[in-house]
Amino acid sequence: MQQSLERQFFSDQRPKPESAPPSPPPLEQTVDAPRLVSRQSESRQAALPPASTDRQRRLSLTEVREIQVQQQALFSEATVQARLNEMRLAADFEEVRFLHRVQPLKLEVQLPLLKRYGFAETPQGMRDMERAVAAYMADQPDVGQAAKQVALLVMGDIWPEEGD
């Protein structure tokens, strides 16, 4: 410590360099600063989640109720119920296995609804229609009840009992 004091290592005791002439004022920049994100990477950005896009078809409450009545009629048909029973047996009445197997049939049965209400006739179109119907379930108890009835028609004996 003593040596440091003797050699004047501390800033207030160090000899100060002669002051340099003041630097000129900064020049105005005429060139734009480089972009941090290139235009090329903008085109490769991830897509917005489906719920946040406006491409999704919105249904009126009347349309939702019409769809649900038609779904109940379609899934109540004897031929559709027979195919659903075969699928339940093939899935050994296991819910997850059945849900994977039933998707193509649900699409096939609901194709007329997808076309009529302006949804794509694809699995994505079916999911979009289900989302559009589900948008009313919280505010409209009858829509929720009708959705449950459709689910019961599709799931049959696999649907868990109330209170399980």
DSSP characters for 54-110?
TTSPP--HHHHHHHHHHHHHHHHSHHHHHHHHHHHHHTTT-HHHHHHHHHHHHHHHH
Global pTM exceeds 0.85: no
Q: Give the length of the chain.
A: 164
Average pLDDT (95-116) is 95
Q: Is residue 135 part of a domain?
A: yes
Q: Is residue 96 part of a domain?
A: yes
Domain that holds residue 117: 57-157
Residue 8 has pLDDT above 70, yes or no: no
Query: Which of the residue ranges 19-33, 81-95, 99-113, 121-135 would you say has the lowest mean pLDDT?
Result: 19-33
Q: Is 40 inside any structural domain?
A: no
Burial-class residue 71 by CB neighbours within 10 Å (0-12, 13-18, 19+).
buried
Q: Is residue 132 part of a domain?
A: yes
For residues 26 and 15, give the distance between their C-alpha atoms in angstroms, rounded to a whole number: 30
Domain assignment present for residue 12? The answer is no
Q: Considering the domain boundaries, does residue 76 fall inside one?
A: yes
Domain count, the chain: 1
Residue 32 lies in a domain: no
Q: Return mean pLDDT, the chain.
A: 81
